[in-house]
Amino acid sequence: MSSAYIRPRSLAEALDAKAQHPDWMVLAGGTDLMVNATHRPEPAGILDLWRLPELRGVTMTDVLTIGAGTTWLEVEHHAAVLERFGPLAAAAREIGALQIQARGTLGGNVGTSSPVGDSLPVLLAFDAELELASAARGRRRIPYREFCTGYRKTQLAADELIVAAHLRPPATRTRTTWRKVGTRRAQSISKVMGAAFIELDGDVVTRARVALGAVADRPIRIAAVEQAVTGLALGAKAAEAARAALRSAIKPIDDVRSTATYRRDVAENLVARFFS
């Protein structure tokens, strides 16, 4: 039996379909869900959200809003993203390569919430808020830090869809940064990646948000590092404090892509560099 297929023309139609068929695959660019498709069981149905107009596009008001169906190619070329959300543009440019960036979407990265989702540490560092919707209960907002609750587990209800992410722009005295480490710049899945959002008074850290991917069962904020560096001036001392605080805060694993030891070393170097 071949899959049923619906391509809704509006978000309202999509939410109705999601409520009626909570078990169907929600598909956008397919860069994750279609991998090895011929070796996967055919889904009962496909709810195709690719290019649904209400989920598409980037807008900048007092916050940056990215529709869940916006591709990484669209994100990385948007003027406001380039100007004020450097780490997001950087992460978008390092997701796969041209072919993947043309299809992969923000909603896909968020919905899967893999520990190696490249945009996710950026969402955590910017303390992004997700907008979710269902036919029965309308819209709600939830910080991304509360959304992902375990290995590929999220707070998304069976009848809900991800609509958008909202990010507040940094104030002037803020250092934001992003770094990915993998075997190759393009196409390789990260061994470790991280982002930081560091608010400064002169050189002194007044508040920091630090997030890493591929060091735990989900993308995580590193509260121990954030606390350790607050009140310190950027430089060798802050870098060392960040490195020391990280040690007990992460639980990287050995897998085909890297080893726990290597990931730990790289993660320490990343946070140290963020505060150098």
Q: How far is the CB of 94 from another protein (least distance, A)?
A: 10
Report the C-alpha dihedral over residues 137, 217, 208, 225, rounded to 10 degrees.
150
* Strand segments (E) across 182-231: 192-201, 204-213, 220-221
223 DSSP assignment: H
Q: What is the spatial distance between Cα 62 and Cα 171, in angstroms, rounded to a whole number?
A: 12
- Please report how close the Cβ of residue 46 comes to another protein at its closest, in angstroms: 6
3-state helix, strand, coil in the chain (%, to 5): 35, 30, 40
Residue closer to another protein by CB (options 50, 262) is 50
Given the complex with another protein, which of 4 and 158 has the nearer CB atom?
4
CB of 104 vs another protein, minimal distance in Å: 9
Phi/psi-derived region of residue 229, left when phi > 0, alpha when psi is between -120 and 50, beta in every other case: alpha
Question: Please, which residue, 29 or 115, has the CB nearer to another protein?
Answer: 29
Shortest gap between Cβ of 98 and another protein (angstroms)?
5
As beta bridge partners, residue 26 has: 47
For another protein, the closer of residues 12 and 97 by Cβ is: 97
State the nearest-atom distance from the C-beta of 17 to another protein, in Å: 14
Using CA atoms, how far apart are residues 170 and 88, in angstroms rounded to an integer? 12
Are 4 and 44 in contact by the 8 Å Cβ rule? The answer is: yes
Q: Given the complex with another protein, which of 27 and 132 has the nearer CB atom?
A: 27
Q: Residue 231: left (phi > 0), alpha (psi -120 to 50), or beta?
A: left
The least distance separating another protein from the CB of residue 115, rounded to whole angstroms, comes to 18
Nearer to another protein by Cβ, of 54 and 129: the residue is 54
Q: Give the nearer residue to another protein in terms of CB position, either 93 or 221.
A: 93
In the complex, the residues that contact another protein under the rule CB under 8 A are: 2-5, 7, 27, 29-31, 34-38, 42-43, 46, 48, 50, 73, 96-100, 102-103, 185-187
Instruction: Return the residue matching tokens 């950027």.
Output: 234
CB 86 within 8 A of CB 66: no
Report the C-alpha gap between 50 and 103 in whole angstroms: 9
CB 101, min distance to another protein, A: 9
